[in-house]
């Protein structure tokens, strides 16, 4: 019997468990520091995207498999060390994601009112780590730096009316704050041009469906940038068509405005005691593809700045970590320590490849890792503790409040 631990219960971790469960004589424990599973599907998908959230139903089927056991409330690296994991499991797949939002890294970024967009997402999704009073939304103008799907989600949630929000499944404290939202202008700001933006066309179109807001696009900012010749090219061109359509519209005088802007990079978050604005510099792409500043500057009035410029992973005590890339070094999912494969340690998902792709990307990624693990299985050293009841008992003795799923 092969005993495997999967650390992290987001899509990558659950898809890894699903692939492992197809192998006879394999028992899988999925461990997560949170009490409930499914990671960003539960706490990172915009509440007005119920179809995407419904993926949790398919993930739940995996957790209900007799070969899979969920152990929530277990902080690996704190409540449970890597050495202890290897006492109980023949192999460990680390799939704990990239939970920390990157900041702008410009002067003033630490002012009150400047946040990583991931903090805002966690708050409106009801993440247990997000304080209830994390956001008051007294700002009249918000600058969202980034033009990916998360940035679109944030802008959409800020711009929706109370009536639109009534149709969305939200925590009560979030609904109250969003209903009293003072925002009049949301500025979506991209460093590069529309052809380099990372959002999908479906998400982009949804921005124009917000009944409470006009979408404003400067046609001059849709120019420039070489067309993408890769697999993203058709999406980029469809996005450009949508943006051109918006650029031709006249504002309808709606209560809120979403300004979609390109070719501007942040220089400084302006303010003394709190955020008052964002200094920007015009950018351009050089013939060699390098983005450079032009020296032309402007300031956007804003009382809140949200940086939606990606995520990064965090190290776990005892696990190798590439601090520059924010991932665990690996080859085909096998963890590398000083360039050498570590027997019995594997990675999947964002902590393996970085925060790229969509939810479905994690299924292919997890399968690659599981394939590597199963090919290694005959030579893996067996864990000394074989009784699955020992670890929960040890954790309970330490005061760890374990949760199961279904609860």
Question: pLDDT-derived band of residue 85, with 50, 70 and 90 as boundaries?
Answer: very high
Query: Is the distance from CB of 317 to CB of 61 less than 8 angstroms?
Result: no
CA angle 286, 289, 291 (to 5 degrees): 65
Q: Report yes or no on whether pTM surpasses 0.85.
A: yes
Residue 230's pLDDT is what? 59
83 has pLDDT over 80: yes
CA angle 17, 389, 18 (to 5 degrees): 10
What's the chain's length in residues? 407
Q: Which of 231-235, 256-260, 277-281 has the weakest average pLDDT? A: 231-235
Range 365-382 average pLDDT:
97
Query: Is the distance from CB of 372 to CB of 93 less than 8 angstroms?
Result: no
97 has pLDDT over 80: yes
Range 248-274 average pLDDT:
97
Report pLDDT digits (tens) over 183-223.
999 999 999 999 999 899 999 999 999 999 999 999 999 99
Residue 259's pLDDT is what? 98
What is the rounded distance in angstroms from the CA atom of residue 22 to the CA atom of residue 13? Answer: 15
8 has pLDDT over 90: yes
Range 21-28 average pLDDT:
96
What is the rounded distance in angstroms from the CA atom of residue 126 to the CA atom of residue 47? Answer: 10
Residue 229's pLDDT is what? 54
Q: Which of 44-53, 99-108, 114-123 has the weakest average pLDDT? A: 44-53
Residue 49's pLDDT is what? 85
120 DSSP assignment: H
Query: Is the distance from CB of 317 to CB of 81 less than 8 angstroms?
Result: yes
225 has pLDDT over 90: no
Query: Is the distance from CB of 362 to CB of 344 less than 8 angstroms?
Result: no
Residue 93's pLDDT is what? 99
Q: In whole angstroms, how far apart are CA 4 and each of 11, 67, 156, 171?
A: 17, 10, 41, 35
What is the rounded distance in angstroms from the CA atom of residue 246 to the CA atom of residue 134? Answer: 33
Residue 292's pLDDT is what? 96
228 has pLDDT over 80: no
226 has pLDDT over 70: no
β-strand partners of 148: none
Domains and CATH numbers, the chain: 2-99+313-397 (3.40.50.720), 102-307 (3.50.50.60)
368 has pLDDT over 80: yes
Residue 359's pLDDT is what? 84
What is the rounded distance in angstroms from the CA atom of residue 264 to the CA atom of residue 271? Answer: 19
């Amino acid at each position: 019997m092969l005993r495997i631990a999967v650390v992290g219960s987001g899509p990558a971790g659950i898809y890894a468990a699903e692939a492992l469960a197809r192998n006879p004589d394999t028992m899988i424990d999925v461990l997560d520091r949170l009490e409930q599973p499914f990671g960003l599907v539960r706490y990172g998908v915009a509440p007005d995207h119920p179809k995407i959230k419904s993926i949790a139903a398919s993930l739940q089927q995996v957790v209900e498999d007799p070969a899979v056991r969920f152990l929530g409330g277990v902080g690996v690296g704190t409540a449970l060390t890597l050495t202890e994991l290897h006492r109980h499991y023949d192999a460990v797949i680390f799939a704990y994601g990239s939970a920390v939002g990157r900041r702008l890294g410009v002067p003033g970024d630490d002012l009150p009112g400047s946040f990583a967009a991931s903090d805002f997402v966690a708050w409106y999704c009801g993440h247990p780590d997000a304080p209830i009073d994390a956001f008051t939304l007294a700002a009249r103008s918000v600058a969202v730096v980034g033009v990916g799907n998360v940035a679109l989600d944030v802008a959409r949630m800020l711009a929706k009316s109370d009536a639109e929000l009534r149709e969305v499944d939200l925590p009560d404290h979030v609904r109250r704050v969003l209903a009293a939202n003072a925002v009049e202008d949301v500025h979506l700001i991209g460093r590069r041009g529309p052809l380099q933006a990372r959002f999908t066309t479906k998400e982009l179109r949804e921005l124009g469906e917000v009944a409470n807001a006009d979408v404003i696009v400067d046609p001059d900012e849709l120019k420039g940038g070489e067309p993408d010749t890769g697999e993203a090219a058709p999406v980029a061109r469809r996005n450009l068509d949508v943006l051109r359509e918006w650029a031709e519209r006249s504002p309808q005088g709606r209560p809120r405005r979403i300004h979609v802007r390109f070719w501007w990079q942040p220089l400084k978050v302006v303010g003394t005691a709190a955020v008052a604005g964002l200094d920007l510099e015009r950018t351009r792409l050089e013939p060699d593809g390098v983005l450079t500043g032009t020296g032309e500057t402007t300031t956007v009035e804003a009382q809140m700045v949200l940086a939606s410029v990606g995520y990064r992973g965090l190290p776990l005590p005892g696990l190798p970590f590439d601090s520059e890339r924010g991932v665990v070094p690996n080859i085909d999912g096998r963890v590398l320590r000083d360039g050498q494969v570590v027997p019995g340690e594997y990675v999947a998902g964002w902590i393996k490849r970085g925060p790229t792709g969509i939810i479905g990307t994690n299924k292919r990624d997890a399968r690659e890792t599981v394939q590597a693990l199963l090919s290694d299985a005959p030579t893996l050293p067996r864990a000394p503790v074989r009784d699955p009841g020992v670890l929960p008992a040890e954790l309970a003795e330490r005061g760890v409040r374990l949760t199961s799923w279904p609860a």
